[in-house]
């Protein structure tokens, strides 16, 4: 690990100023991903500004009936919150499906959004990786990619986004709030992660030096009939091969509203808007669910060894929707 | 070269206050083992994947290999050395001994601290990934083998003592001896 300076920020302004003053500075919250990557020197900040103790934790009510989850709320506390479990159960399930009990006690909601891909080439400083060293190449396209992306990837990068939580947030149209040297702002989750394109090293739409302060869940998206299902290579404590967050509102046998997001298939949580439009207003039948899932996945471009994810995603969408009827 | 690469840290470990000067790179695990001399927490993978370094920080289980010592400044730490009290093993430790919850013992300190944290989480009504319905309006999920396996999945045991670990945790829970 490279040497670094450490400071515990005394407030949001203080944190912003400390990071703005040092181009090598990074915010530290739970550290479960950042410290891990620092050990292998994929991350080598010159200064850590600890924001864990800032008053940005806790879950609060929003005027629209939604919830505001503070950025330093631990994954554990967010998942255990009764209001999250009652109104956005798929979010609670998604968080609980990620990592281990110990890691969820450390990791924060803000940090979870900014975690890096678990692509093995990204984590290996000896390997080329366009995300880590722009222009160095991407070995995954030709070599090991059985758990890589099937949607939205580019020749420059086929890595997936690792978060479970963000998949549920995408389904619920969450909004990321931040403070930055240029002022406060917010970004809908759908626009938070940048398309890979030719710049896989640019991952989010956050302005430079910005600090995530909260994630807002709109009241209109609240759905007790929502669910997160994750398929992985072992029963627990593994990243997703494919996951689905979905909510379904059926009235008189017809789909009044539906929200579907996929994890493990792209560089960001993949909102399945094609499937959603195919389903809205139509009959809530298993046959329609399968057809809509197939339509969504028709855009998939599997690599040599990850075509199974296309089948898996189709089946998982149809299965989760059927469970929600 | 970073000019302020070291920091002062106050830790309360198993009830005793310690003041250390550490390199900012030092993890809580290394501080506990090498600076304070508590070698109960083990360095297995050092990457947050095996759970052998699990300790309780302010009452919650964490992997001490991914927590920087400077970031733990001011925290109350409990290691496996702090679970027993008054010369008597804690209920979870007694259950591990009685039911053979270990073989080589390398993962045991982490398993024990994790079990203490996990039983408290369950007692607080937290659901898990195998809880069928996470609604807070239902009764808390009953702790069965599937729940214990899921909640303890952050602790690996290469000897494969899992069946006995699950029994030891379930027995401790059934006796209501959550405090460890």
The CATH number of the domain holding residue B12 is: 3.10.20.30
pTM exceeds cut of 0.80: yes
A303 touches chain B (CB under 8 A): no
Q: Which residues of A touch B73 (CB under 8 A)?
A: 8
- Residue A255: beta bridge partners? A250
Residue-wise burial string across A195-211, b where 16 or more C-beta atoms lie within 10 A, e elsewhere: ebeeebbebbebeebbb
Residue B151 has pLDDT above 70, yes or no: yes
B-contacting residues of A 11-40, CB under 8 Å?
28, 31-32, 35-36, 39
Query: Using one digit for the tens of pLDDT, what is the confidence trace for A262-314?
Result: 999 999 999 999 999 999 999 999 999 999 999 999 999 999 999 999 999 99
Q: Per-domain residue ranges for chain A?
A: 1-52, 227-324
Q: Rounded to whole angstroms, how far apart are CA atoms B101 and B89? A: 14
Averaged pLDDT score across all residues of chain A:
98
Q: Is residue B180 part of a domain?
A: no
Residue B85 has pLDDT above 90, yes or no: no
Q: Domain A1-52 classified CATH 3.30.43.10?
A: yes
| Shared-domain flag, residues B12 and B60 | yes
Complex confidence, ipTM: 0.97
Nearest to A86 among B47, B131, B136 (CB): B136
Q: Is residue B1 part of a domain?
A: no
| Shared-domain flag, residues B24 and B58 | yes
- Which of A189, A202, A316, A198 shows the shortest CA–CA distance to A265? A316
Backbone angles phi, psi at A3, to 5 degrees: -65, 150
A-contacting residues of B 82-121, CB under 8 Å?
114, 117-118, 121
Residue B163 has pLDDT above 50, yes or no: yes
| Shared-domain flag, residues B103 and B171 | yes
A232 touches chain B (CB under 8 A): no
- Say if the Cβ atoms of B27 and A100 lie within 8 Å: no
Is the CB of residue B130 less than 8 Å from the CB of residue A237?
Answer: no
Residue B160 has pLDDT above 90, yes or no: yes
Of B19, B50, B82, the domain-final residue: B82
Confidence of residue A84 (pLDDT cuts 50, 70, 90): very high
Q: Is residue B124 part of a domain?
A: yes
Closest residue in B to A89 (Cα) is B134
Q: Rounded to whole angstroms, how far apart are CA atoms B107 and A197? A: 44
Residues 6+ apart with CB under 8 A from A256: A249, A250, A280
Q: Which residues of B touch A3 (CB under 8 A)?
A: 1-2, 5, 23-25
A1 touches chain B (CB under 8 A): yes
Q: Is residue B75 part of a domain?
A: yes
- Say if the Cβ atoms of A101 and B136 lie within 8 Å: no
- Which of B156, B167, B158 shows the shortest CA–CA distance to A100? B156
Q: Is residue B18 part of a domain?
A: yes
Weakest-pLDDT range from A25-34, A218-227, B2-11, B37-46 = B2-11
- The reported pLDDT for the residue numbered B180 is 43
Q: Which fold has domain A227-324?
A: Enolase-like; domain 1 (3.30.390)
- Determine the structural domain holding residue B151 and report its residue range: 91-175
Cα A105 to the center of its chain, rounded Å: 18
Structure tokens at B95: 């259950």
Q: How far is CA A119 from CA A83, A123, A162, A229, B119, in A?
A: 34, 7, 9, 22, 34
| Shared-domain flag, residues B76 and B110 | no
| Shared-domain flag, residues B169 and B97 | yes
Residue B176 has pLDDT above 90, yes or no: no
Is the CB of residue A9 less than 8 Å from the CB of residue A51?
Answer: yes
Q: Give the count of domains, chain B.
A: 2
- Say if the Cβ atoms of B5 and A5 lie within 8 Å: yes
């Amino acid at each position: 690990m490279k040497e670094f300076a450490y400071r515990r920020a005394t407030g949001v302004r203080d944190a912003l100023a400390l990071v703005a003053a040092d181009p090598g500075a990074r915010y530290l919250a739970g550290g479960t991903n950042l410290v891990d990557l620092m050990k292998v020197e994929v991350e080598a900040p010159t200064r850590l500004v600890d924001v864990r103790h800032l008053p940005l934790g806790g879950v609060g009510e929003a005027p629209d009936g939604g919830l505001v989850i503070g950025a330093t709320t631990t994954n554990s506390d967010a998942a255990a919150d009764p209001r999250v479990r009652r109104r956005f159960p798929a979010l609670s399930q998604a968080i609980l499906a990620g990592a281990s009990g110990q890691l969820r006690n450390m990791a924060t909601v803000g940090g979870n959004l900014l975690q890096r891909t678990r692509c093995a080439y990204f984590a290996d400083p000896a390997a080329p990786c366009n995300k880590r060293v722009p222009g160095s190449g991407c070995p995954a396209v030709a070599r090991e990619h059985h758990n890589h992306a099937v949607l939205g990837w580019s020749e420059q990068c086929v890595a997936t986004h690792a978060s479970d939580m963000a998949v549920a947030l995408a389904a619920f149209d969450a909004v990321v709030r931040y403070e930055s040297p240029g002022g406060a702002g917010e970004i809908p989750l759908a626009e938070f992660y940048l398309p890979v394109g030719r710049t896989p090293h640019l991952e989010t739409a956050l302005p430079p030096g910005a600090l995530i302060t909260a994630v807002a869940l709109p009241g209109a998206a609240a759905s007790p009939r929502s669910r997160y299902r994750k398929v992985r290579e072992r029963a627990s404590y593994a990243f997703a091969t494919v996951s689905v967050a979905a909510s379904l509102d059926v009235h008189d046998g017809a789909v009044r509203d539906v929200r579907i997001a996929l994890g493990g298939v792209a560089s960001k949580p993949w909102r399945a808007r094609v499937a959603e439009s195919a389903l809205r207003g139509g009959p809530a039948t298993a046959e329609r669910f399968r057809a809509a899932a197939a339509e969504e996945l028709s855009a998939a471009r599997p690599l040599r060894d990850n075509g199974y994810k296309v089948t898996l995603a189709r089946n998982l969408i149809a299965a989760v929707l059927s469970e929600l009827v | 070269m970073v000019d302020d690469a070291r920091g002062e840290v106050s830790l309360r470990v198993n009830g005793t206050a310690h003041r250390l000067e550490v390199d900012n790179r030092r993890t809580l695990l290394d501080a506990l083992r090498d600076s304070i001399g508590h070698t109960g927490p083990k360095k297995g993978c050092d990457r947050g994947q095996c759970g052998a370094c699990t300790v309780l920080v302010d009452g919650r289980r964490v992997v001490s290999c991914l927590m920087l010592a400077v970031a733990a400044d001011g925290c109350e730490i409990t290691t496996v050395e702090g679970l027993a009290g008054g010369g008597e093993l804690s209920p979870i430790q007694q259950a591990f001994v009685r039911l053979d919850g270990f073989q080589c013992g390398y993962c045991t300190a982490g398993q024990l601290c994790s079990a203490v944290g996990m039983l408290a989480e369950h007692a607080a009504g937290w659901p898990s990934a195998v809880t069928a319905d996470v609604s807070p309006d239902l009764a808390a999920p009953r702790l069965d083998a599937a729940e214990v396996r899921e909640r303890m999945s952050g602790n690996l045991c290469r000897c494969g003592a899992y069946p006995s670990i699950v029994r030891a945790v379930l027995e401790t829970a059934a006796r209501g001896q959550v405090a460890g």
